[in-house]
Amino acid sequence: MEESSKVIHAIYTDDDILMSAVKKVKAAKYHIEEVFTPFPVHGLDKAMGLAPTRIAITSFLYGITGLTVAVVMMNYMMIQDWPQDIGGKPSFSFHHNMPAFIPIMFELTVFFAAHLMVITFYLRSKIWPFRKPQNPDPRTTDDHFLMEIAVHGDGKDLQKLLKETGAVEINLVDKAH
């Protein structure tokens, strides 16, 4: 296999040691392909140099979509299609009945934002039903942390650096494409 298809898997047992190692590896100008952790590690994305996520913007847009659907739906059903006099309060205009509509607007805003965000997250992360797991080491779902680094050349200097950063295990593997 080509040299560029080889990666080193450095395994750590503590998230603080992992963070320190990521900073040292980035400072040494190595490219970290991926880091697998059993839980989110605060600041890891910044230490790896990842771009900020735009998922909050999509969540806001999904919420606005839900609010728009709620307003259009209630205006059509309660004002235009079948206005009713409920409890002595006639439904002849939307703005007069707004206080009664607020819970529905809130619920549909949250419903759209939550459900569409889950779908967006799964699609963006390429996690869908029946997909084979991509995790290189099952211990990273329990209590270990794995840093995957591309190898160029023999990788001896990189392995030495990783050992100095506190890696408990270092494996050179062929990455399947």
What are the structural domains of the chain?
3-49+143-174 (3.30.70.120), 55-124 (no CATH)
**145, exposed or middle or buried, with CB in 10 Å at 0-12, 13-18, 19+?**
buried
Report the Cα–Cα distance between both ends of the chain, in Å, rounded.
11
What pairs with residue 7 in β-bridges? Answer: 150, 173
Reading the chain (177 residues) residue by residue, the pLDDT tens digits are 444 588 999 999 999 999 999 999 999 999 999 999 999 999 999 999 999 888 899 999 999 999 999 999 999 998 888 887 777 777 778 888 888 889 999 999 999 999 999 999 889 888 888 888 888 898 998 999 999 998 887 788 999 999 999 999 999 888 765
Distances (CA, A) of 39 to 14, 22, 44, 141, 166: 11, 16, 11, 8, 19
What is the value of pTM for the model shown?
0.70
Show the tokens assigned to 61. Answer: 């847009």
